[in-house]
Amino acid sequence: MRKFDNLSARATACCLLALTFIAGAAQAQPRRTPALEALVKAAQNEKNLNVVWGPSLGAAAGVRALQEGMNKRYGINISINYTPGPSFPQMASRVIQEIQAGRPNSTDVSLGAETTIISLMSANALQQGNWSEAFPYIRPEMQTKNGEAVQMVTLFTGIYYNTRFIKPDEVPKKMSDVFNPKW
């Protein structure tokens, strides 16, 4: 797995922003490993990051909170420019097209669910790095094989129903119950 050696200041700042997501507000200040110190030092040369996201992360208010958290946590002063954007899959397609056309990316940090991340990985659109080396609380199983992505959350899927229309004793208990013609 590649280390974060020789990253540009912009790429380094993006790494810190991404890790601010993962660490979360409740996470204690991460232990300052030599790899993390190198990332912070390189990020100090960056002044701005551009992000294009949909509203699911709190839109402009969420980005302001991330900016404040990142700057406070790492002792840097980076402004994050937020542009409201499309869904994760649409944004991944845009990033891939920009890379293929040799144009600068419209966003410096990409987010998405597994399928979106796989698309970005297949197009070599993500920076690789050894996240565990810089952030010991990121276990190896939380990152992709080559360090292109880190798992932030696990989603639980389920079937929702309206309790005004379906009585508790009628709720499907197994998948085959869902195919009942009644539904």
Query: Does 173 reside within a domain?
Result: no
Query: Does 168 reside within a domain?
Result: no
The per-residue pLDDT for 122 is 93
The number of folded domains in the chain is: 1
The per-residue pLDDT for 9 is 61
CATH number at residue 85: 3.40.190
Query: Does 160 reside within a domain?
Result: no
Distance of CA 62 to the CA centre of its chain: 13
Query: Does 170 reside within a domain?
Result: no
Q: Give the C-alpha distances (Å, rounded to integers) separating 66 from 53, 57, 118, 176.
A: 13, 10, 25, 44
What's the domain range around 67?
A: 9-152
What is the mean pLDDT for each group of 10 consecutive residues in the chain (183 residues)?
57 66 56 84 86 83 87 88 92 93 89 87 88 83 87 71 87 84 79
Query: Does 48 reside within a domain?
Result: yes
111 Rama class: left (phi>0) / alpha (psi -120 to 50) / beta: beta
Query: Does 34 reside within a domain?
Result: yes
Query: Does 157 reside within a domain?
Result: no
pTM: 0.71
State how far the Cα of 67 lies from the Cα of 77, in Å rounded to an integer. 9
